[in-house]
Structure 1
Amino acid sequence: MQVELLNRSKYRDGAQPGDDVALVLPGMAYGVFDGATDPRGSVVDGTPAGRLAALTVSAELAAIALDPALREAAPRELIDRLSDALERRTAALDLPVPPSTTVAVALDCGAEWRFLLLGDTGIRINGGEVLRFDKVIDDVSTAARVRLFHALRRQVTTPDEAEYATRRAIFLGLDQCVADGRLTPAEADDIVAGATADTGLTADADTVAAFLKGGIQTQYRFGNATGPLAFDTMNGTRTGLGEIIDQRRPKSEVRSIEIFTDGYPALPAEASAAAWETAFHEAEAADFHKTGAFATVKGSTGTEFFDDRTILILHTAAR
């Protein structure tokens, strides 16, 4: 087997680590954990809260992988065990936003590969089949952000200034943007209405409005909850929607496994780290601000890529 791993911080100068964590235990487990960036910037002993979550859960997964019997445990048992480890590590910290992370793991189970996923980190098998969850709440934030970026770009001198102002508004809420004097209440309402229509959530307009006006700093309230914007995540509590992927494939049918975070906006045709990087830079060139074909909740700037990115590839057949 051949393993390729690229783990790249969003900071262009590489001075700080990102919130993505990779795990490689040959013959046992391979995983990627994307810690959620804390919108309030919480740091624990020098470690950002999202990275702390990813490190904690990856360490517990490593402990599970060392026991062949545990690798065969029911998916709910495995997810709950990971969640309990995160709760033990973070409960006493009393942070305003519970640290959280995704989980995407390939477990070596003898004659089979077992794939376990929670959140929007993806796994691609044989360069084609993709296992992954998308979050409606991210679609809502993205739709609002695109409209907001264009509105703020008309007010400021540089694209970077527009991006940082947009991030502040999307993370802290449109109400904060109004308080900052960047938007009028009517303009904020127009952005909310547009994002609601763009995502087809008109029946849940009040929920969408409350979320966008409060910002991503309130998103944790929808984690492991129920409702139109709810999503399952690894945050130290029990999942609420059952959004756990647990699938198996005979090893004889698997040529390659690619585990990737959403810092890669485009999937390449080839299963190689070089191909993933090429696709990334092509997307950066085509949509630097992430308001077009690769729209997302943040754009790139002169000092930061729009997100951390990690790609872990297992070439399981001879090349």
Structure 2
Amino acid sequence: MKHLEAFSMGKKFGHPELNEDSFVVIPDAGYAVIDGVTDRNGTRYGGMLSGQFASRTVKRATELYILAQTDPKAPEAMRYAGPASFVRYLTDVLRQAYVDEGAYEAARDDWKVRGGCTVMAALQVGDKLEVVAVGDSGIRVNGNDVLQVLKPLDDVTGLLRRETWNLFKAAGYAPDFCDMQAAAITWRGTKNQEPGAPTADPALLVEIEKRALAACHAHLPDVPEAEFIELIEHGIMHGQGNFQNAGERALGYGGLDGFPVLDKYIDARTYRMADIETLELFSDGYFKIAEGFGVAAWEAAFREVEAIDPHKIGPYLSTKGTTDTALTDDRTYVGIALR
């Protein structure tokens, strides 16, 4: 390894300890970026919110797995035998973490209390580099070969948020008020608003549902309407988990949560180590791929996005936006120059 740069920043201003991203760097052996899923209801394991708990658990498991590839006496479960074997190992570790916390049955029966995360890992196995991904963190190899699988489900909740934001803006409200109301709709869905809240007005909710559904049909014409309606009505908090690792659904997606991940949600590539000059791993807190290598280039891309679309209702549509208390998301970058 010739050069290494790494950077991670949590989204909540003044609270770096709440960063749910993690990263792994073991020179000449392996690297990873892990993005914890935002907790839905305050569930804590090991003194951490569930997404951070999942992220840290998978980080440690990945470190041990990478090191095992250099140990001929490592257990069979920790020997790389294809991308599914690595994902099964991480799943088993996370499931055991629930057991250790006395929470396995609760997590098995209710997705709302599960911890979750994505993983993008680059493992050196002999003379090959094995890239394995579950979720929407990304990797760029040699400055041009990008693997990042973004989930269309986020477009649905992002469109729900955009239509809500624009409706309040058109009524003359300030951006910070629009942010708050759009977040309430996106998070809880139209059927779960707090009584008396600005977003609880029945006529307003009918208009939001109509606009959001039309936008979803235009953007994703091949998705069944019932899936749009489920997400619009129940939001991230009450509806999104029904789609995780659900292979029969058009908006289904993969995530690590201690329970089986279908092969269709595991993405992988294999490279010859001799062909690799640079590796860059990043979480989805970076909404634009940087033009160059290194933290400075990626942070410049981040600042450009924030200047163009801080509320994330335009070209960088998202389920959240930057406010006066938090950035849109945690962000992490690891760059390795091998030559």
Q: Into which bin does the TM-score normalised by the smaller protein fall? A: over 0.9
- Between the aligned partners of 2:139 and 2:16, the Cα distance in structure 1 is 28
Farther-moved stretch of structure 1 (65-74 vs 106-115) = 65-74
Name the Cα RMSD after superposition.
1.9
Aligned-partner Cα distance in 1 for 2:93–2:66: 15
Aligned 1:101-180 pairs, distance under 5 A = 101-154=117-170, 157-177=173-193, 179=195, 180=197
Q: 1:157 to 1:45 in 2, by over 3 A?
A: farther
CA distance in 2, matches of 1:271, 1:123: 12
SS of match in other structure, 2:224: helix
1:155-304 matched pairs, under 5 angstroms: 157-177=173-193, 179=195, 180-182=197-199, 183=201, 184=203, 185-201=205-221, 204-217=224-237, 218-226=239-247, 227-240=249-262, 242-304=264-326
TM-score by length of 1: 0.93
What SS does the corresponding residue of 1:16 show, helix, strand or coil?
Answer: helix
In structure 2, what residue type is equivalent to 1:28? Answer: A
Change (3 A) 1:8 1:43: same
Q: Distance in 2 between matches of 1:246 and 1:204?
A: 28
Cα distance change of structure 1 residues 153 and 40 upon mapping to structure 2, 3 Å threshold: farther
Amino acid at match of 2:85: E
Name the stretch that deviates more: 253-262 or 177-186.
Answer: 177-186
What's the counterpart of residue 87 of structure 2?
79
Q: Which residue of 1 aligns with 2:12?
A: 11
Aligned counterparts of 1:14 and 1:203: Cα–Cα separation in 2: 39
Deviates more, 1:237-246 or 1:133-142: 237-246
Moved more, 33-42 or 237-246: 237-246
Choose 297-306 or 179-188, whichever is displaced more. 179-188
Give the conservation status (yes or no) of the 8 Å contact 2:188–2:236: yes
* Structure 1 segments unaligned to the other structure (5+ residues): none
Is 2:92 the partner of 1:90?
A: no
Amino acid of the structure 2 residue aligned with 1:108: Q
TM-score of the two chains, using structure 2 as the length reference:
0.88
SS in 2 for 1:66: helix
Which digits, 9 at most, give the CA deviation of each residue in 1:111-161, with x for residues without a partner?
222111111000100111111211111111111111111112345753223
Given residue 144 of structure 1, which amino acid in structure 2 is its aligned partner?
L
Post-superposition offset of 1:28? 1.8
Bigger mean CA offset, 114-123 vs 242-251: 242-251
The whole-number CA distance in structure 2 between the counterparts of 1:231 and 1:176 is 23
Aligned residues with identical type, % of pairs: 27
Aligned partners of 1:178, 1:293: CA distance in 2, in Å?
30
Q: 2-side partners of 1:162 and 1:197: how far apart?
A: 24
Contact (CA 8 Å) 1:84, 1:236: kept in 2 or not?
A: yes
Instruction: Give the distance between the partners of 1:205 and 1:178, measured in 2 at CA.
Output: 26
C-alpha distance 301-203 of structure 1, shift in aligned 2 (>3 A) = closer
Distance 2:260 2:55 in 1: 17
Residue-by-residue CA offset, 1:191-213 (whole Å, 9 max, x unaligned): 33223223324651122101211
Number of matched pairs:
317
Matches within 5 A, 1:37-52: 37-52=38-53
Distance 1:202 1:269, change over 3 A: closer
| Deviation readout 1:269-312 (Å, 9 max, x if unpaired) | 10111000000001101111011111111110112110000001
